[in-house]
Amino acid sequence: MSDLYLEISDAGISLDLRQAGLTAEVLAAARGRVDGALDEMALLEGGGEANSTEGRQVGHYWLRDAPRAPVGLDEAIMAGHAARGELADAVARRYGSLLHVGVGGSALGAQLLVDALGDGSHEVVFADNLDPEGLARVTDGLDLATTGLVVVSKSGSTAEVEVGLAHVRAALAGAELALGPRAVAITCSGSPLAQVARDESWRGTLPLWPWVGGRTSVFSSAGLFTAQVAGADADALLAGARRMDAATREPDLTKNPAALLALAWEAAQSDRPRAMVVLPYRDRLQLLGRYLQQLVMESLGKAERRIGGPAACGLTVYGNKGTTDQHAIVQQLMDGPDDCFVTFVEVLGGPAGAALESGVTAADLLSGFAYGTRAALSAAGRRTIALTLEQLDASSLGALIALFERAVGLYASFLDINAYDQPGVEAGKSAAAAALVVQHQLIGRLEEGAEGDAAHFASLVGADPQQVFHVLRHLASSGRARSSGEGLTRRFSAP
């Protein structure tokens, strides 16, 4: 359709869906479903129990528009923002660097905001994994004496965060520096982390709420505290998101950018699954693809419908940045299977950059390549979507994130799935816990003098031989077992 172009002027964003494969027939047929999805969104924003499997409200939209929150929560939200604003300012004044410990939804939003909006005034580094060498690399590069610490975990008991905190604790102790005065906890009230922060008199604690999921917590202190320390305008981020929320409550679907975006995603799945490739044409937005990967895949990758019955749905997201990806994935996007649609994110304005002899500037080339790649993909039959930001600032980035949050919510309604739980993550955690139990048992048997191959140890502890092989090899590599021979029949014994 030729008129699928929307400018959301007060949010500084335009959305071009003219090459997205939407037709007048698709839109006409979708009207009832869009109405239903918008009604559901209104119920969610009104405080309904939208996360049915977890029996929870879903309140991330309230974070940027507190008056919409249920009575009582509005004041708590405003108080949270005020406390975060004061504490972030104080930490920014006191420290030159900030170490952010968190993983998943407790890290990626802050990482995106810092990279996109940081003003360079503060070095901000992230400890977002269990890897001991990776953790060491993070702290080894810091002057700990001038580094503030923020630890983010909704539950307050995430393994990655426990390990990260233990690592930082040891590093600070090694430097004879106190942890409490430089540390801020961001967590739910009453969590183990909140308890530690209280017991150790941390500099401050900021609240998270059970009704805000990790992947949509960027507008809570989980994202905004660190972003503000890095120089981002937290109020402008909230205002941009609030403006996009308003634009996406529009009942006329042809004027509702989130409804149109969700319909474009749905249309791209009409005859075969197609992945969403995200190509932002700005280095500062390089993490956008990873951020949306988490938001979209964790929200939409679901096994069950809300009414029951199998869904097995999802929407794969990948992509790094243009033009760089022109030299990596674009070959397959052009010539490979018709299994993706490409979302271009362009930013107007900014510096012109170096000029070549022809007078063409770096910015001209960047814009030309964005257009050229899109045109070539369209000519090859690929669906494309183009989002254009008037400029890269806190307001437009807030609006951009909000647009995707709202589109995810509407699309989940179309699919009749719960966008706000993550049951599939638990199985891996349980299996990991079981592996650690097996490890404990195997250490015991080794200490008792047991010897043999993995199959032998598996029979001793009643576990799967593949699992036992994996654990024994790990124990051998860390000096807690001896290994001889090779292959699956290698023998293990006490060191």
Residues marked as catalytic:
298, 327, 429
Stretch that binds its own copies, among 66-74, 105-113, 142-150, 202-210 (CB under 8 A): 105-113
The answer to whether 147 contacts its own copies (rule: CB under 8 A) is no
Residues 446-465, interacting with its own copies (CB under 8 A): 464
Binding-residue pattern over the window 38 to 67 for its own copies, x denoting contact by CB under 8 A: ------------------------------
Residues 168-227, interacting with its own copies (CB under 8 A): 169-170, 214-215
Q: Which of 1, 10, 54, 129 binds its own copies (CB under 8 A)?
A: 129
Q: Which of 245, 266, 298, 405 binds its own copies (CB under 8 A)?
A: 298
Q: Is the Cβ of residue 38 or residue 315 nearer to its own copies in the bound state?
A: 315
Residues 380-399, interacting with its own copies (CB under 8 A): 380, 388, 390, 392
Q: Is the Cβ of residue 76 or residue 130 nearer to its own copies in the bound state?
A: 130
The answer to whether 264 contacts its own copies (rule: CB under 8 A) is no
Q: How many CB atoms lie within 10 A of CB 2?
A: 5
Stretch that binds its own copies, among 53-61, 73-81, 144-152, 331-339 (CB under 8 A): 331-339
Stretch that binds its own copies, among 43-51, 156-164, 177-185, 393-401 (CB under 8 A): 156-164
Q: Which of 29, 42, 82, 328 binds its own copies (CB under 8 A)?
A: 328
Shortest distance in whole angstroms from residue 38 CB to its own copies: 23
- Is residue 443 within 8 Å of residue 450, measured between CB atoms? no
- Residue 101, burial from CB neighbour count under 10 angstroms (0-12, 13-18, 19+): buried
The answer to whether 294 contacts its own copies (rule: CB under 8 A) is yes
> What length is written for the chain?
495
Residues 5-44, interacting with its own copies (CB under 8 A): 5, 7, 9, 18
Q: Is the Cβ of residue 76 or residue 297 nearer to its own copies in the bound state?
A: 297
Total interface residues for its own copies by CB under 8 A? 132
The answer to whether 145 contacts its own copies (rule: CB under 8 A) is no
The answer to whether 266 contacts its own copies (rule: CB under 8 A) is no
Shortest distance in whole angstroms from residue 83 CB to its own copies: 26
Is the bond preceding residue 323 a cis peptide, omega within 30 degrees? yes
Q: Which of 46, 251, 350, 495 binds its own copies (CB under 8 A)?
A: 350
Shortest distance in whole angstroms from residue 207 CB to its own copies: 21
Q: Which of 242, 321, 383, 406 binds its own copies (CB under 8 A)?
A: 321
The answer to whether 495 contacts its own copies (rule: CB under 8 A) is no
Shortest distance in whole angstroms from residue 117 CB to its own copies: 12
Q: Which of 51, 139, 293, 396 binds its own copies (CB under 8 A)?
A: 293
The answer to whether 116 contacts its own copies (rule: CB under 8 A) is no
The answer to whether 163 contacts its own copies (rule: CB under 8 A) is yes
Q: Is the Cβ of residue 339 or residue 451 nearer to its own copies in the bound state?
A: 339
| SS3 sequence of the chain | CCCCEEEEHHHCEEEECCCCCCCHHHHHHHHHHHHHHHHHHHHHHCCCCCECCCCECCCHHHHHCHHHCCCCHHHHHHHHHHHHHHHHHHHHHHCCEEEEECCHHHCHHHHHHHHHHCCCCCEEEEECCCCHHHHHHHHHCCCHHHEEEEEECCCCCCHHHHHHHHHHHHHHHHCCCCCHHHEEEEEECCCHHHHHHHHCCCCEEEEECCCCCHHHCCCCHHHHHHHHHCCCCHHHHHHHHHHHHHHCCCCCHHHCHHHHHHHHHHHCCCCCCCEEEEEECCHHHCCHHHHHHHHHHHHHCEEECCCCCEEEECCCEECCCCCHHHHCCHHHHHHCCCCEEEEEEEECCCCCCCECCCCCEHHHHHHHHHHHHHHHHHHCCCEEEEEEECCCCHHHHHHHHHHHHHHHHHHHHHHCCCCCCCCHHHHHHHHHHHHHHHHHHHHHHHHCCCCECHHHHHHHHCCCHHHHHHHHHHHHHCCCCEEECCHHHCEEECC
Residues 463-492, interacting with its own copies (CB under 8 A): 464, 466-467, 470-471, 473-474, 476-478, 486-488
